[in-house]
Amino acid sequence: MTQPDQQPIISISHIAKVYEMGDEQVHALRDVSLTIGANEYIALMGPSGSGKSTLMNMLGCLDTPSSGTYLFNGENVSDLNDDELAEIRNREIGFVFQTFNLLPRATALQNVELPLVYAGIAKAKRIEMAEQSLTHVGLDDRMDHKPNELSGGQRQRVAIARALVTNPSIILADEPTGNLDSKTGQDIMNLFNELWRAGNTVILVTHEEDIARHAHRIVRMRDGLIESDEANTKPLT
């Protein structure tokens, strides 16, 4: 829920995203406005093709809107160039993907180090921070393992450690439990709950009600529009 006494982290107003497919125009987002404050825990729901991922990419500064404005911590990111967007992603956003997206040749530690490399942090400091982050997600004994030596749940933990390591303003997770069995999915959700309790801002995309019930605010989308935006009065957190 928006906390009115604080400046919101994310503030988008009347955002649209149009993809040109030959002669055809696909309106992935039509007119979306949303404000997200610090330490919110939001689930983004909706049927396939409703624009969830497009909105996530926009929030994550991977993409810029066709029209409308996007303020991130008060800064207008609508017309930043590639490298400026990369810098915001690096500093402010932690991504968790459905397919983990770890580098297969790198160890868990090296994977978690990667965002710090791009932040220009010195080697010794990087290792210290990455170790801390991995310990935080309960993988202190798996630092030197390659992704193929880890289970699905462990891989997602590495990905979460990687998202956390730069201490970002928000954590964006697109179907983070989509590739996990329900037991492991529960463990991962517990980890997100923990992150939220520790003060992080969490936004996750899901189509499973069970998963969404952990969040404190549920935003439902349909055809590129926000259908409903309600507080979850009884979160499973």
Six-digit token string for 46: 């909706």
- For residue 74, give the nearest of 1, 166, 165, 169 by alpha carbon: 169
In the complex, least distance from residue 29 CB atom to ligand ADP, rounded to whole angstroms = 8
Other residues' Cβ atoms within 10 Å of the Cβ of residue 191? 21
The answer to whether residue 62 forms part of the interface with other proteins (CB under 8 A) is yes
Convert residues 38-67 into a mask of x (bound to ligand ADP by CB under 6 A) and - (unbound): --------x-xxxxxxx-------------
Among 21-29, 87-95, 180-188, 229-237, which window interacts with ligand ADP (CB under 6 A)? 21-29
Using CB under 8 A, which of 90, 132, 193, 237 touches other proteins? Answer: 90
Dmax (CA) for the chain in angstroms is 54
The answer to whether residue 106 forms part of the interface with other proteins (CB under 8 A) is yes
Using CB under 8 A, which of 26, 117, 198, 231 touches other proteins? Answer: 117
In the complex, least distance from residue 164 CB atom to other proteins, rounded to whole angstroms = 12
Six-digit token string for 8: 């919101």
Other residues' Cβ atoms within 10 Å of the Cβ of residue 132? 14
Of the two residues 131 and 175, which places its CB atom closer to Mg ion in the complex? 175
Of the two residues 38 and 62, which places its CB atom closer to ligand ADP in the complex? 62
> Contact, 118 vs 90, CB < 8 A?
yes
CA dihedral over 205, 39, 199, 209, signed as positive or negative: negative
Q: Which amino acid is at 223?
A: D
In the complex, least distance from residue 89 CB atom to other proteins, rounded to whole angstroms = 5
